[in-house]
Amino acid sequence: MAEQIVSEQNVFERVLDFANRADPYPLWAELRRTPVAPQADGSYVVSTYREISALRRDPRLSSDMRTAEQRAAGDMPPMLRLDPPDHDRARRLVMKHFGPPQRPTLVDDLRPELTRMVTELIDALADQDQVDIVDQFAYPFPVSVICTLLGVPRTDEPRFREWTDVLVDTLDPAGNVADRDPTKLAGLQEFIAYLQQLIADHRRHPGPDLISAMATEEAEDRLTDQEIVSTSILLLIAGHETTVNLIANGMLTFLRHPTVLKRLREEPTMIIPAVEEVLRYEPSVQMIPWRKTLDDVEVAGTTIPKGAQVILALAAGNRDPLVYIRPDAFDIDRGAQHLSFSGGIHYCFGAPLARLEAQIALGQLVDRLENPTLVTDPPPYRPSPVLRGPRHLMVGVDRIT
Amino acid sequence: MVRPGNWNRILKWVKIDQVGDEIVIAQGSVEARRFVAVYGHHGRITATVSFDQGMWLDFWRDQIEDAAPFPPRFALVGAPTDGPVEVRPSGFPEPNVPSHEATVVVTGHAPSDRRARFAQVH
């Protein structure tokens, strides 16, 4: 048994190891043989579909990883890392400005604006025979979208790249970089100060954006400025980095499957199921590392003790052979569900927007890039094993129409 | 047989045919109108009703299918905020009451023998 634990620990450590970032899937498959895998540090990795699916709706799992001291100090994390009732309140107060019933058409109304942004970005590539899909397309697009949504001036967009990189690093279960690196910590403080200023500005001169809506809310129950800051940070990471990765992972996957690429050019509406299959096959969020048990929880015959960290390996569950036929095949006709937006009370707030962004972005790329080819396969990857995606995606093209 | 059902978008339930004679608020707050109530019978969970908390029902359905112990004693997120958790009688009428919804019940077997009876609940 001790020997088994050591080998399981090694599999997950190899997933975290940057050397395996390009293809973690054989390791996820190995890990799935032990659906609930205890780790040397006392955490448990859950990697099978059925078990992940049940745990994401299990109230015995908390998303609040604050220590007693952090709690006493009034440290308020974003709703993604809070439990009810605080989570429910925060989510309700933000969601009311983002979707039904109050703003049912908000996402769909963005369609012409998103199409315009994508068209302009691709127009700008016209005279190149080689493009970096990440730096020149996938990165700037969601930044513009989230800035439009939050009401951040376009001129401030370049500063967001550095801040977002800092925030993404803090989610790495292998090490909390922001805690150790004073430069990154300073960057975070700078970003918070910027957001506080933005809230104050929007309160004086409100626009049609989300920050204005939250800052000028007149109902008695409303978000504090600190909560608006943490919500904005959350929407920025969650709405941005994940979408960059979804677009880049999508284009990479299409280029590796030329028959799919050809079919998408002939049948443009297939982009909708194709995006769903990308979400299953190459999820931007590979795992959710911030859950802990409030009680002993039995999962697939293993008891996870109270107080243990639980890592939900969404990317592993998405290729569980008990659920999917030929799980490692990229098949846009599959019509299958996936775990990539999680579920239960923390189900991805921005899923409708992410889907629309990816459908428009990938749809136009497929349509307008003539004979696209991968220059380097695999491409270089970003450091994070949690929010996983290419750092660059160099694509050669004959012509851009 | 575990059956799900819903009254509207807000009020949903899962139950088995067994009646639940005890009730406990398992999550949320009746005061805040967001809660999960769990019914029990002979120390087993038999039904659950959620009000504006439907996202937790799948978990409680699994508890019903497993005939999990009642009252539930585990620690969970969104535990009741209205005070200490107490098990109360569910207040369902005795099964021999003809109906707990109608106040007048038509009885008799033949068309010529039709009578109405006032049905007092409780």
Q: What is the mean pLDDT of residues A310-318?
A: 98
Q: Is A305 on the interface with B (CB under 8 A)?
A: no
Q: What is the mean pLDDT of residues A93-113?
A: 89
Average pLDDT of every residue of chain A: 90
Shortest CA gap A86–chain B (Å): 9
Q: Is B11 exposed, middle or buried (0-12, 13-18, 19+ CB in 10 A)?
A: middle
Distance of CA A180 to the CA centre of its chain: 24
Shortest CA gap B100–chain A (Å): 34
Q: Is A62 on the interface with B (CB under 8 A)?
A: yes
Q: Name, in order, each residue with C-beta under 8 angstroms of A139's C-beta and a sequence gap of 6 or more.
A: A161, A244
B chain contacts of residue A61, beta-carbon cutoff 8 Å: 77
Distance of CA A99 to the CA centre of its chain: 19
Q: Give residue A227's pLDDT.
A: 85
A chain contacts of residue B12, beta-carbon cutoff 8 Å: none
- pLDDT band with cut points at 50, 70 and 90 for residue A69: confident
Q: Give residue A331's pLDDT.
A: 98
Cβ contact B74–A57 (<8 Å): no
- Partner residue facing A345 (CB), from B29, B55, B74: B55
pTM to 2 decimals? 0.87
Q: Give residue A30's pLDDT.
A: 97
Q: Give residue A374's pLDDT.
A: 97
Distance of CA A61 to the CA centre of its chain: 21
Give per-residue pLDDT as tens, A174-211: 334 445 577 777 887 888 899 999 999 999 999 989 99
Average pLDDT of every residue of chain B: 82
Q: Give residue B14's pLDDT.
A: 85
- Partner residue facing A59 (CB), from B32, B34, B59: B59
Cβ contact A295–B76 (<8 Å): yes
pLDDT at A81 exceeding the cut of 60: yes
Q: Give residue A172's pLDDT.
A: 46
Q: Is A158 on the interface with B (CB under 8 A)?
A: no
CA distances from A380 to A137, A254, A388 (A): 16, 17, 11
Cβ contact B74–A60 (<8 Å): yes
- Comparing A104-118, A189-203, B89-103, the range with the smallest average pLDDT is B89-103
Q: Is B1 exposed, middle or buried (0-12, 13-18, 19+ CB in 10 A)?
A: exposed
Q: Give residue A173's pLDDT.
A: 39
Q: Is B80 on the interface with A (CB under 8 A)?
A: no
- Comparing A90-94, A270-274, B2-6, B95-99, the range with the smallest average pLDDT is B95-99
Give per-residue pLDDT as tens, A125-170: 999 999 999 999 998 898 889 888 888 887 888 787 678 767 766 6
> Looking at chain B, which residue has its C-alpha nearest residue A347?
B55
- Comparing B28 with B1, the larger pLDDT belongs to B28
- pLDDT band with cut points at 50, 70 and 90 for residue B96: low
Q: Is A294 on the interface with B (CB under 8 A)?
A: yes
Q: Give residue A249's pLDDT.
A: 98
Cβ contact A294–B56 (<8 Å): no
How many CB pairs below 8 Å do chains A and B form together? 50
